Amino acid sequence: MLVETPPALTAEQFGRIADIVREDSGIILTEAKRGMLMARLNRRLRVLGLSGYGAYCTLLDGPDGRVERRNMLSAVTTNVTAFFREAHHFNTLTQQVLPPLIDIARKGGRVRLWSAACSSGEEPYSMAISVLEAFPEVARYDLLILATDIDPLMVEKAQAGVFSETSIQGLDPARLRTHFTRTGSSFEVRAPLRNMMRFAELNLHQEWPFSAGFDVIFCRNVVIYFDENARRRLWLRFADQLQADGHLFIGHSERLDGPASAAFRLAGPTHYISIARETGR
Ligand SMILES: C[S@@+](CC[C@H](N)C(=O)[O-])C[C@H]1O[C@@H](n2cnc3c(N)ncnc32)[C@H](O)[C@@H]1O
């Protein structure tokens, strides 16, 4: 039997690819990630009909490089997620965070929540389920959830709102019945959830096309892939984006550090409240 040898990735090519990934996304690829990178990029090489990484690096640096750089990011990002992952955040959302925000919305105010690395959508839809359960008449008020991710394939998937049996495992059966329609082995989110969501492709390290004014930001399990500078810069930008008393939720193995620490107080495990900005709400 003929066994095809996968193309080899030299140290120089690995370095070039790691530089591009870091430049474009802030994600650090250490030597330990080399095997993972090769496994994922070998697939890209096959799709593109390229024989090796020399040609791939030439493509990345050439005039058509932009398109492939996006595909490459899709290949290297880790998209693991789940409905109601780190459930204590959603309990806090329901019990502490949403009640005053619902009052603001009922009085005609604007309320905005943001899932800043939404992956395939389980996180922002869990936020939306929490909102709908606490505020069934939300459709009549100005409350929206923005869900963004750097990976265009993930944003597309999140926006489609169709989940497999594996994804919905662990979701409470009553919630499943209320918020999803089953078609064969797929589960599609119903309109009341969909209507409060907006989706967009967004790289956290580039310009953000909105001005300040979020009440809640979920940015969980993404800064673990960034270097210290990129992470600390991001915390400062979140401090800027949040209303005074706005809430930031981060991943279980992450911590808010650097100069932005002065702009937040710790309110619970990996839950921070912004103290810096005065907004005339
Ligand atoms: C492990 S998932 C976390 C998903 C979700 N927040 C959760 O905790 O379940 C990390 C996500 O971060 C996204 N990501 C990585 N770098 C990013 C960047 N620079 N800007 C925006 N999203 C990024 C990835 O595409 C991926 O979907």
Write down the pLDDT at residue 8. 87
- Looking at residue 278, its pLDDT comes to 53
Say yes or no to pLDDT of 155 above 70: yes
* Percent of the chain whose pLDDT exceeds 70: 96
Residue nearest to atom 2 of ligand 1 (CA): 79
Per-residue pLDDT tens over the stretch 12-46: 999 999 999 999 999 999 999 899 899 999 999 99
Judged against a pLDDT cut of 90, whether residue 182 lies above it is answered with yes
Rounded-to-integer distance, Cα 11 and Cα 126, Å:
42
Give catalytic status of residue 24 as yes or no. no
Domains within the chain, CATH numbers bracketed:
11-76 (1.10.155.10), 87-274 (3.40.50.150)
10-to-13, 52, 105, 247 alpha-carbon distances in Å? 5, 10, 56, 44
Active site residue 40: yes
The pLDDT assigned to 64 comes to: 84
Query: Is a pLDDT exceeding 80 seen at residue 238?
Result: yes
Q: What's 51's DSSP letter?
A: S
Q: Does the beta carbon of 203 lie inside 6 Å of ligand 1?
A: yes
Ligand 1 centre to CA of 119 (Å) is: 6
